[in-house]
Structure 1
Amino acid sequence: MLERDVVAIIGPQSSTVSHMISQIANGVQVPTISYAATDPTLSSLQFPYFFRITQSDSYQMAAMANLIDFYGWKEVIAIHTDDEYGRNGIFSLDDEVEKRMSKISYKFALPINYNLDDITNVLNGSIPLGPRVYIIHINPDPALKIFQVANKLNMMTSDYVWLTTDWLCTTLSSLTPKDQSVLRIIEGVVGICQHTAETSLVKNFGSNFYRSNVYGSYAYDTVWAVAHTIDTFLNQENNLTFTIAESQFGKLKIFDGGKLFVKILSEINFKGLTGPIHFDGDRNLVPYGYKVINIIKLAVNNVGYWSNHSGLSIKPLESLKVDKTISSVSNDKLGVITWPGGKTDRPRGWVIGDTERPLRIGIPKRASFVKFVTELSNHTIEGYCVDVFKEALKLVPYELPYRFVPFGDGLSNPSYDDLVKFVKDDVFDGAVGDIAIVTNRTRIVDYTQPYATTGLVIVVPINNSKAATWVFLRPFTTEMWCVTAMAFVLIAIVIWLLEHRVNDDFRGPLKRQLVTIFLFSFSTLFKKNQEDTVSPLGRMVMVVWLFLLMVITSSYTASLTSILTVQQLSSPITGIDSLVATHLPIGYQVGSFAYTYLAESLFVPRSSLIPLGSPDEYARALLLGPHNGGVAAIVDELPYVELFLMDHDGFAIVGQPFTRSGWGFVSNLLP
């Protein structure tokens, strides 16, 4: 063929072959016009002589991603053939679903000439995984082998979703009426097919030809596109001339008018069998749209249509009037779809575990504070966190098989950072326990909503002030008591000097006057005096005295209340800043994130951080103090500290929690 006078190549059908042919066509400047190669990497940028009169897989994968997003599935499994067509199509789908905040969690490649064993291995390998939405992107297969195996593996049930690209439509169009029974094995499958407008030209053809295979219609339009181009080329008085050139393939004839031929071909615009035929900037056929089909009751039902401008719609694209500058995917609609198993409700699309492979839930095998979670000697898993998890499962509307896997040796508390990494590395499917939600962990795993509020607090030793018989004397010092007593005596003498000459209440025998003046002075603490002051100076002195009494009694009451109710700290530490500034040893719980936080966020020297493994070690270290081999304070999460203080006296929390966090369950399987 390369030695003949070739001005255009129609085909090939295969994307893989198109890659090879296009490289040669570039060298001889002969345009290649394919009506079936849908690989999106076949572009004019790499192959300037390549044209495509069919819809690119990049467009088809946008439709598939819209369908996935319409049903709210966030993770899917893709199965494809291991060639340019399969790989590049799935890569394009990966980009499209990512735009919609979804992802292809797993990709399985089938050999080009796959058999039933290859399919069985792939499907068996996918069963233990969580997603149940399968995207099948393979070459047309009249035997529908992948669904034969899926039926044998009991994968055509209501737990599964099967979505196919347009290879299924191509396969179904090749079936004869005798073969219609094969539809039984694909009940509930949903596929995407290229949609073409029913033009007036269709009436001049048998409807069977038009509907049998859309690629046949595209092939027809391809021939006409080449014919129109040759006709225009010759009408412009151009000659079909060639230049002989040597190459690794021998002597080749290079088409001298190749560039002009490409220019004319890229500008054609006519109405073909499949609709308007003209190319976009990448020399792909300007896409028309897709239809969504559903196989049910041995019949192929149209349940909707899709275009890049209208989104999903139940109305045919021909009847829609859409502003092509605006995407309207927010108004997506589809008809009722019957899924595998015969249900019409939207499938969940994922499972977290099944009876054959229950979830592996890691739990910290704690050595201290075991009331939260641990494994007992009889291998029973108990604790507050486990109780919360079991109660939460009661709210899940489906069964969730799981098994607890202890993490740690039980001799010391395990590292919670390591536990989270085990979830990230898929050693565990999740983790249940007193697991703090901290930034470095949220970067690698998912957390549930917090079920407990926590934060780091500081614990220090205290001295309890015990009430004594003479505790009421402690608010004032001895000097203060003496000054107060002298003030009472002084006021008594002053009032007597000012009143006894004008006030009969302060007259009489000496003994009576002494009793009166001292009772007058001291009784002002408790009640109104029976004796009234008469002189103006006496009244002024009483006003000042009553003000002083108010100050004295208020100060005394406040000091006595503090002594009786407030524990006096025996440490100068009042908060995290003063603790760090002391540069004294600080205790932390083994396995806690407090160590990382203190060392990396507050820059406390690691040599100053002392690991402690139990509440008894907490108490012992605090009582010893920082200068006797103990610690100045302990930094730990609030729930642990509260439990510690319930069983140990002589310690207290100082300051406020200096981090805000919570406990949550960990998973790498959240949809």
Structure 2
Amino acid sequence: MEVGLGQNRTSEIKVHPNYRTRLVLHIRDSLEETVQASAAALDLIKNEQVSAIIGPRSSMQAEFMIKLANKSQVPTITFSATSPFLTSINNPYFVRSTLDDSYQVGAIAAIVKYFGWRQVVAIYVNNELGHGMIPYLYGALQDVEVHPNVISEEASDDQIAKELYKLMTMQTRVFVVHMDSSLGIRVFRKAKEIGMMEEGYVWLATNGMTHMMRHNDHGRSLETVEGVLGVRSLVPESKELEDFRLRWKRKFEKENPTTGDEAELNVFALWAYDSITALAMAAEKSSTNTLGYDNRSVSSNNRTDLGNIGISRYGPSLVKAISDVRFKGLAGEFTLIDGQLESSTFEIINFIGSTEKVIGFWTHSNGLVKANSNKTWERLLQNDMVIWPGKSKVVPRGWESPTKGKKLRVGVPVKGGFLNFIEAQNIDPITNATTPKGYSIDIFEAALKKLPYSVIPQYFAFKSPDDYYNDLVSELSNGKWDTVVGDITIIANRSLLVDFTLPYTESGVSMMVPMRDNENKNTWVFLEPWSLDLWVTTGCFFVLIGFVVWLFEHRVNTDFRGPPHHQIGTSFCFSFSTMVFAHREKLVSNLARFVVVVWCFVVLVLTQSYTANLTSILTVQRFQPEVTNVKELIRKGESVGYQRGTFVYDTLKTQGFQASQLKPFNSSEECDELLSKGTSNGGIAAVFDEVAYLKAILSEYCSKYAMVEPTFNFKTGGFGFAFPKNSHLTRDVSKAILSVTQGDEMQEIQNRWFKDQSQCPDQKTPHSSYRLSLSSFWGLFLIAGIASFLAFLVFVALFLYEHRHMLCDDSEDSM
């Protein structure tokens, strides 16, 4: 129904008798049709030249009317068009005296997050009303997966049932319903018939539906929605509202004595009353000197009714006056912000039997607040305040195994080796159903047991033509399975297609090489602890220290005098004897004593390091890897191995290996055979694979091979379980994996599938060159050199000072 408002100064009214301006109503019935509403609005503007229009009733009718209002500058006020798509920002003559649907999504999101539900299904009608709120719901539930489900506004009961049966096959049990209340009641009634209003389900009704529930079927519809939670805008009780209800009911029953409960007011009626009140107040405040329309100049090409409608002279001042109106109406405070009613408090309703129980409130500033309390909902669960569908007091988990339809479909790879990770058994040749076992399966099933809900996996085998797991991941992204379980490595290109859980194994690619017996039968093994540069530098410093000591001592110490060969022998003997601290010559010069003390400290560090490293060479480091350098393998053209079907092949090629150098293997036994042969006999010199596989090989052959950190750095995420993008199971299973891997159960699973490696050497220790080089001791030599140099400078200074009289003598003997 569209109501056009004119103005009349002679009509009487009991309320506000002091007002100079009175309103006259011109009523047009839109018959709830969009075209009829547009025609009625055009008639009111063109023929009645109204000053304002109250309407439209629905969001579908509003779009054309808003354009018509802008064109004619006639304020159009709606009390029931709630779509957020309708806005006053770019439509200055559109005024919304009701709350748009975007305001309530905060309350819905707060409820969902409070109860910890991680997935919801949004059931909405396929029109302007339904599509308007959904983007805002997605925004408010950023951490929650939202599944849209659209129902046509002309849907039959059979079509509604078909959609609901489809939802029953899903695991999600939380449904947000946003549509017209009459259609919504049909959805709830059909859901109850097919068993979707039982324990474990959650239903949330939006604002418009919640307000209108008791006005459908004379209130009998409330029994259909028992256990449903609803969000509705708060209408504060007041004496004015109670008086108005009594007057309305008395008048309604007098004119329609058989209607019963239909006389009860709903919030849209109150907003309509407040809208007209606001319009009357605005008309009183604004000047009426500009009443009337200006005729629009019409071009010869535009002879339609739209082309020759006039422009209201009164519209601009009236719409400004409406924006400034502030008062307490029947529905609450009436305040317009940017042409829209300001957001208010929302009630959280629980439908119980034929009653509506207010269990709390929500405001943007305070969030959820318990009813009759300023406290938050912290003890809401403990107090059993909510009755859920099926008259249950237990908070639904929001996720259940489908009672009808398919189980959790799990894809598993068919492997030829490393069966301790996963092995598909008893494969059905028709359905590919299988009963797998292995380390990965045990971890997966242990994680499922940690989930707060029941999940029943059903396994299906998958054999890739080239044993490449990328095919397995692609099938998951195409919807063939609900998850993929196995020794699947988390790498970047796969993460673009699916989501991975947290890893349950170590990450990274490493190298494994054979161990060689390094029993030292070399005659010159005593030279091994130091590198050549360290030997040369140490020898040079022995000579230097011998010379410095001789320089300081030979003039004052008889031990360092005599024939030249004697002085040279004494100096070198003194210097080298400091290695074992056996020098016998007494030092007279303090400078020489200073240099020798510093040098003895350096010699102490060098001898202790030499002894420790030589001991290590002769005992601990007897067994050493045959090769530790990837570049050396490439340079020598050595063959290396990789596990067939893995991404390691491409990694090795990028590092510089030729395809002819790369040999695949399928199992740990085949890997051992290739390594045992060596490159010269058609085998391999090293193996590159992920840490988890190499540890599996070492658990069987730890005495023969060692794991070496390669010189290149290629990180992976380890093994993980794959799920489709945005699956809520990814997060839940990841948390469960943490619980499993950090508990005692993890060690039990590992011992079940891999041999005890406690007796093996620590394979994490990186093997590298064990020789000590000059770079390890250059600081010590620097200290000794600086000490010698400073002592030499002091010696020269003292020498020149003592013989200054000779330097000043010009005779030839002075030199």
How far apart, CA to CA, are the structure 1 residues paired with 2:209 and 2:342?
23
- The yes-or-no answer on 1:87 pairing with 2:140 is no
The aligned amino acid for 2:315 is: G
Residue 287 to residue 355, structure 1, CA distance change in 2 (3 Å): closer
Query: What residue number does 2:436 align with?
Result: 381
- The yes-or-no answer on 1:476 pairing with 2:523 is yes
- The yes-or-no answer on 1:196 pairing with 2:235 is yes
Q: 1:574 aligns with which of 628, 642, 645?
A: 628
Residue 315 to residue 597, structure 1, CA distance change in 2 (3 Å): farther
The aligned amino acid for 1:242 is: D
Q: SS at the partner of 2:709?
A: coil
Note the C-alpha offset of 1:607: 7.2
Residue 556 to residue 203, structure 1, CA distance change in 2 (3 Å): closer
Note the C-alpha offset of 1:217: 0.2
Contact 1:160 1:349 in 2 (8 A): yes
Q: With structure 1 as the length reference, what TM-score do the two structures score?
A: 0.77
Contact 2:491 2:716 in 1 (8 A): no
- The yes-or-no answer on 1:305 pairing with 2:371 is no
Count of paired positions:
577
- The yes-or-no answer on 1:359 pairing with 2:408 is yes
Q: 1:112 aligns with which of 153, 162, 173?
A: 153
Instruction: Encode CA deviations 1:35-58: one digit per residue, 9 max, x unaligned.
Output: 000011111233221111111111
Structure 2: gaps spanning 5 or more residues: 1-42, 250-262, 428-433, 528-583, 586-603, 733-815
Q: 1:253 aligns with which of 292, 300, 310?
A: 310
Instruction: Encode CA deviations 1:557-609: one digit per residue, 9 max, x unaligned.
Output: 655436xx733444xx3155655676755432123243354456x57677765
- The yes-or-no answer on 1:276 pairing with 2:333 is yes
How far apart, CA to CA, are the structure 2 residues paired with 1:429 and 1:119?
26
How far apart, CA to CA, are the structure 2 residues paired with 1:554 and 1:216?
94
How far apart, CA to CA, are the structure 1 residues paired with 2:697 and 2:438?
16
- The yes-or-no answer on 1:435 pairing with 2:488 is yes
The aligned amino acid for 2:413 is: P
Residue 369 to residue 35, structure 1, CA distance change in 2 (3 Å): same
Contact 1:476 1:556 in 2 (8 A): no
Q: 2:420 aligns with which of 337, 352, 371?
A: 371
- The yes-or-no answer on 1:233 pairing with 2:286 is yes
Contact 1:311 1:331 in 2 (8 A): no
Residue 608 to residue 353, structure 1, CA distance change in 2 (3 Å): farther
Matches within 5 A, 1:478-557: none
Contact 2:286 2:318 in 1 (8 A): yes
The aligned amino acid for 1:189 is: V
Please say which of residues 622-631 and 39-48 is displaced more in the overlay. Answer: 622-631
Note the C-alpha offset of 1:142: 7.3
- The yes-or-no answer on 1:215 pairing with 2:273 is no
- The yes-or-no answer on 1:402 pairing with 2:457 is yes
- The yes-or-no answer on 1:30 pairing with 2:74 is yes
The aligned amino acid for 2:483 is: G
Note the C-alpha offset of 1:180: 4.0
Q: SS at the partner of 2:348?
A: strand
Contact 1:159 1:348 in 2 (8 A): yes
Query: What residue number does 1:509 align with?
Result: none
Query: What residue number does 2:667 align with?
Result: 614
Query: What residue number does 2:447 align with?
Result: 392
Note the C-alpha offset of 1:643: 3.3
Note the C-alpha offset of 1:419: 2.3
Contact 2:637 2:661 in 1 (8 A): yes
How far apart, CA to CA, are the structure 2 residues paired with 1:555 and 1:277?
88
Q: SS at the partner of 1:452?
A: coil
Note the C-alpha offset of 1:358: 0.7
Contact 1:457 1:653 in 2 (8 A): no
Instruction: Encode CA deviations 1:460-513: one digit per residue, 9 max, x unaligned.
Output: 234446xxxxx8x92536999xxxxxxxxxxxxxxxxxxxxxxxxxxxxxxxxx
Please say which of residues 354-363 and 88-97 is displaced more in the overlay. Answer: 354-363
- The yes-or-no answer on 1:634 pairing with 2:690 is no
Query: What residue number does 2:144 align with?
Result: 102
How far apart, CA to CA, are the structure 1 residues paired with 2:73 and 2:351?
45
The aligned amino acid for 1:225 is: A
How far apart, CA to CA, are the structure 2 residues paired with 1:134 and 1:599?
52
How far apart, CA to CA, are the structure 1 residues paired with 2:314 and 2:656?
74
Contact 1:65 1:96 in 2 (8 A): yes
Query: What residue number does 2:173 align with?
Result: 132
Query: What residue number does 2:397 align with?
Result: 348
Residue 597 to residue 137, structure 1, CA distance change in 2 (3 Å): farther
Contact 2:292 2:313 in 1 (8 A): yes
Note the C-alpha offset of 1:311: 1.5
Contact 2:169 2:404 in 1 (8 A): no
How far apart, CA to CA, are the structure 2 residues paired with 1:107 and 1:266?
37
The aligned amino acid for 1:405 is: F
How far apart, CA to CA, are the structure 1 residues paired with 2:685 and 2:460?
37
How far apart, CA to CA, are the structure 2 residues paired with 1:551 and 1:78?
73
Instruction: Encode CA deviations 1:620-645: one digit per residue, 9 max, x unaligned.
Output: 54456557765442211233223334
Note the C-alpha offset of 1:368: 0.9
Query: What residue number does 1:415 align with?
Result: 468
The aligned amino acid for 2:290 is: N
Q: With structure 2 as the length reference, what TM-score do the two structures score?
A: 0.64
How far apart, CA to CA, are the structure 2 residues paired with 1:20 and 1:550?
94
Matches within 5 A, 1:51-70: 51-70=95-114
How far apart, CA to CA, are the structure 2 residues paired with 1:276 and 1:400?
50
Q: 2:294 aligns with which of 239, 242, 246?
A: 242
Contact 1:574 1:654 in 2 (8 A): no
Note the C-alpha offset of 1:348: 1.0
Q: 1:152 aligns with which of 193, 196, 210?
A: 193
How far apart, CA to CA, are the structure 1 residues paired with 2:276 and 2:403?
54
Note the C-alpha offset of 1:183: 2.4
Query: What residue number does 1:165 align with?
Result: 206
- The yes-or-no answer on 1:591 pairing with 2:645 is yes
How far apart, CA to CA, are the structure 2 residues paired with 1:455 and 1:479?
38
- The yes-or-no answer on 1:39 pairing with 2:83 is yes
- The yes-or-no answer on 1:451 pairing with 2:504 is yes
Query: What residue number does 1:287 align with?
Result: 343
User: Structure 1 vs Structure 2: percent identity of aligned residues?
Assistant: 29
The aligned amino acid for 1:368 is: G
Contact 1:353 1:359 in 2 (8 A): no
Contact 2:414 2:424 in 1 (8 A): yes
Residue 384 to residue 264, structure 1, CA distance change in 2 (3 Å): same
Query: What residue number does 1:529 align with?
Result: none
Higher helix share: 2
Query: What residue number does 1:496 align with?
Result: none
How far apart, CA to CA, are the structure 2 residues paired with 1:233 and 1:649?
94
Contact 1:243 1:256 in 2 (8 A): no
Q: 1:663 aligns with which of 715, 719, 733?
A: 719
Residue 109 to residue 398, structure 1, CA distance change in 2 (3 Å): closer
How far apart, CA to CA, are the structure 2 residues paired with 1:260 and 1:332?
52
Contact 1:475 1:556 in 2 (8 A): no
Instruction: Encode CA deviations 1:232-260: one digit per residue, 9 max, x unaligned.
Output: 2335x433333245454353122123222
Residue 584 to residue 243, structure 1, CA distance change in 2 (3 Å): farther
Q: SS at the partner of 1:212?
A: coil
Contact 1:355 1:401 in 2 (8 A): no
How far apart, CA to CA, are the structure 2 residues paired with 1:660 and 1:384?
19
Contact 2:411 2:459 in 1 (8 A): yes
